[in-house]
Structure 1
Amino acid sequence: MAKIRLKSLLSVLVPLVLLIAFALAITFPTQLISFAITPKSHDGLGTETHELVLRDASGKDQIVSFALKRVPAGIAPGLCTDEPGLTVVDKPFRLAETEVTGALWDAVRASPASAFYTLGSVPTATGADHPLERVSWRDAVVFCNALSVALGFDPVYYRDSAVSRPVTSAAELAADGDILYLSESSTGFRLPRSAEWELAARYIDGTEWTPGGHPSGGTHPYYFDSRTSLYAVYNQESSLPVKTLASNRLGLYDMSGSVWEWCFEKFDWRNPVAPEMIAGNPLAEEASRKRVVRGGSWLGNFYRVQIGGEFGSLPDLEALGQGFRVARSGW
C-alpha cells in the first residue's frame, strides 16, 4: 500500500517539478545556469578588417584593429510599428562590427597622418575595449575624416560644394551651422544614415526582418527582459566591453546598446521643420538642429533598445552613454 501511495505521489510531483523548472527557465534563462540560453553569434556576409598602431605609455606598439561587416541594399519595414517598405537602402555598404572603442579613438588621435584634425574635448571610455562615450555628433564627423586619412583614404565630409576643404574640427562645423558636403566618390569612413542603421539592425535574410519592437538580433519583443539582455546592454552601472553579448545576423554587435549611436541625418529628416516655423520659435529651431540617435544605452531603459526607435540630440551634445559606429560606402 505504501509503495502504491509513493508511486502516486511521484506521478504528481515529477511533472509538477518539471513544469516549474521549465517555467523558470523560460522566465529567467540567464539566472539559471543549467538552463542558460547562449544565443549564437553570426559571421555575416563578409568582413573587412583594418589596423592602426598605438604606442602605449611604456613605448610599446599596440595593434588596434577593427572590422566592418557587409550590409546589402534592401527595403525593410520601418519604425517600431513596422510600416511596410519604409526603410529603403538602395546601395550596399559596410558597417562597423562594434561601436568605436576608446582604443580606436586614441589610435586615431595619435596617428601622424591625422595630425591636422582637431577633435574636441576628450570623450570617455570605461576601458580600451569599451565603447567611446561623451562624444558629440560634430566630433564623430571629424573622427570619421581623421580615421579615413589615418588609413590612407580620402575624407568623406567637406566644408565646400567643390569638396576641396575637408572638415577638420568641430569648431568649423559650429561656424558653418553644421552644413557640410559629402564626397560621393570617397571610399573613406562616415556615419551611417538612419535608414542604413535600421536595415542593418533588422536584417535576417533580406526577406525576413527583425520586428521594430525587438532588440537587434533578438527573437522576442524588448519587454522580455531576460531575452533582451542577451543582445543589449541597458539599465547597467556602465557599458560592457564590445562583443560581450550576441551579434545579429550580419555579425554586428551591440546595435541596441551599450551606447546610443549617432547617425548622419537631421532628426526631422522624414518631416523637415518648415523655415517659417523656425523664425522666433526656439523649440522649432532646436528641433531642426537635432541629429538622429539610434539604439539603446547602458544608461537607458529597455524601451530605447527597440530597433525601430528613432530619437534626436543636438549636434554639440556630449552625453554619457552616447557614442557611434562608422560606415563605408560600397562593398
Structure 2
Amino acid sequence: MMRSVNQRPENTKVILQRLAEINRIIKPPPRRQQSQLAGTVPSSRGNSTPPPPPQPPKKSASSGTISGGLTRRQLINEMLYWVVFGVLIGLIILIGYLIRPLIFSLIKINWDDLPPLISGKELQSFDFDVVTVDSRGKENSRNRRQANFFTEDLGNGVMLEMVAIPGGFFDMGSPVTEEDRFDNESPQHPVDIKPFYLGKFTVTQAQWKAVAALDKVSRDLNTDPSNFKGDNLPVEQVSWSDSKEFCARLSTKTGRTYRLPSEAEWEYACRAGTTTPFHFGETITTDLVNYDGESSYGFGLAVEYREKTTPVESFQVANAFGLYDMHGNVWEWCEDHWHINYNGAPKDGSVWLKKENGVHSRLLRGGSWGNDPRNCRGANRFRKEPDYKSNFIGFRVAFS
C-alpha cells in the first residue's frame, strides 16, 4: 500500500521536489494569450490614445525562459550541438594526424631516382639483410635486399664504399606521440631529398690513416687519434673541423667533392622509408645495435653494455638503403649549424647555416656506444662545438 506524502522518508520527499522542479523547467506552463488590441486603449467619443512603446522582453521567473527567446532546454540543446561538433572536428584532425605518416610513407622513396653515374667508376651491387623487430625487440622479419655502390681506392688495399641513396621525400623530425622525444625535433615537416651517395659505414681507422697521410689542405691531422684501437673500428676522437679536413684531402685525391651529409640527408638515409623511432622498428636490442644496453626503450629489454666501439658491420644487418650502424656505435657529424627547432628549416634537404657570423655548434646524429636508446633514435639531435673531440664521435662522408 502506497504511503502518504507525510509518511514517506525525508530523502524521498527531496527527490520528488527536485523532479517537480525539473519538470517545471522542461515543461513550463503555457503563456497567456494577449489580446491583439492589448496595445491600445479605447477613449471616449471615438478619440484614441497612441499605443505605449514596445517593452523589452521579460524574463519569466517560473519557466526560466526569455519572452520571445529560447527556452532553457533549447539553449542546452544548442550548447550540446556545438560541443559535439567540436569533438567531431577534433577527432577528424587527430585521425588525420595519425594516419598521415602511413599515407606519406607510401610515396616516400623514389627507388628509380638514383644519383648520376660516376665518371670512371662502375656501379656494383651488394646484398644485405634488413631486419625488423616487434615492440619487445624480438626479430619478426628478415629480408634480403640489394643496393648499388662504388668504391674509392685509398691505397694499400684500403677501400671506401659509397652507397647510392635514391631521391624522395620524408617527414623530418618526430611525431608528438613518439616516446621520449625532445622538443627540438619539432615541428615535423616534409623535406624533398635529391639522390646522393653516402658511406656504407662510418669512416674506419684504416680509412682515416690512409687519408690523413695525404698532403695537408687547411689543418694538420693526427693519423691515429682513436681511443679504441683497430683498423675496422670507427675512427673517433675527431672533431667536426678534422672531418672537414678529411673530406678536403679525399676530394683532392679523387677529384670528386666529398663532404659531410646535411642533417636532413642523414635522417632520410637513416630512416630509409620507415617512420618508427628506429629503422628496425619501435625499439632496438644489443643484438642489432651497440649502445648502453643497460637502458631500454619502450617495451624493449635492458641487456648488455659493451662500453666500447664495435667493428663496422659487426651485426651483419643494414637498413633498406644498405647502410650499416646508423644507430649507436659513434655519433656522426653533419654539416649544419645547430638550431633549437625546425622553424624555418630548408625543405630541399640542403645544409642549414646561421646567417650571423661566429662559431656555432654543429649537428651530431645517431647516438653512440655510451648512450641510452632514446638518444639513438633516428630523429634525435645533438650538438657540439666544431673543435670538440670525444671517443663517442665519428662521421661518414657524402658525395653528390
TM-score by length of 1: 0.62
Q: How does 1:119-158 map to 2 (within 5 A)?
A: 119-121=220-222, 122-124=224-226, 125-151=228-254, 153=255
CA distance in structure 1 between the aligned counterparts of 2:290 and 2:270, rounded to whole angstroms: 15
Gap regions ≥5 residues in structure 1: 1-24, 30-35, 54-61, 154-186, 204-208, 273-284
Name the amino acid aligned to 1:188.
T
CA distance in structure 1 between the aligned counterparts of 2:135 and 2:368, rounded to whole angstroms: 25
Please point out which of 255, 261, 279 is paired with 2:326. Answer: 255
CA contact (8 A) 1:95 1:328 kept: yes
Q: How many Å apart are 1:257 and its aligned residue?
A: 1.8
Identity of aligned residues (%): 32
CA distance in structure 2 between the aligned counterparts of 1:84 and 1:267, rounded to whole angstroms: 15
Name the amino acid aligned to 1:189.
Y
* 2:194 is the alignment partner of 1:91: yes
Please point out which of 288, 308, 323 is paired with 2:394. Answer: 323
CA contact (8 A) 1:52 1:64 kept: yes
Name the amino acid aligned to 1:314.
E
Q: How does 1:233-252 map to 2 (within 5 A)?
A: 233-235=290-292, 236-245=306-315, 246-252=317-323
TM-superposition CA deviations, 1:54-98 (whole Å, max 9, x none): xxxxxxxx3001211111222111212287972524421000000
State which structure, 1 or 2, has the greater radius of gyration over its C-alpha atoms: 2
CA distance in structure 2 between the aligned counterparts of 1:123 and 1:87, rounded to whole angstroms: 38
Name the amino acid aligned to 1:311.
F
> What's the RMSD between the two structures over aligned residues?
2.8
Q: Label 1:37 to 1:75 Cα distance change in 2 as closer, same or farther (>3 A).
A: closer
Secondary structure, counterpart of 1:130 in structure 2: coil
Q: How many Å apart are 1:324 and its aligned residue?
A: 0.3
Count of aligned pairs between the two proteins: 229
Secondary structure, counterpart of 1:147 in structure 2: helix
* 2:286 is the alignment partner of 1:229: yes
Name the amino acid aligned to 1:270.
Y
Q: Which has the higher contact order (CA 8 A, sep 6+)?
A: 1
Q: Label 1:41 to 1:320 Cα distance change in 2 as closer, same or farther (>3 A).
A: farther
Q: Label 1:118 to 1:293 Cα distance change in 2 as closer, same or farther (>3 A).
A: same
* 2:169 is the alignment partner of 1:66: no
Q: Label 1:89 to 1:325 Cα distance change in 2 as closer, same or farther (>3 A).
A: farther
Q: How many Å apart are 1:229 and its aligned residue?
A: 2.7
State the partner residue of 2:72.
none
CA contact (8 A) 1:78 1:212 kept: no
Q: Label 1:299 to 1:87 Cα distance change in 2 as closer, same or farther (>3 A).
A: farther
Q: How many Å apart are 1:110 and its aligned residue?
A: 2.1
CA distance in structure 1 between the aligned counterparts of 2:369 and 2:248, rounded to whole angstroms: 27
Secondary structure, counterpart of 1:228 in structure 2: coil
CA contact (8 A) 2:173 2:187 kept: no
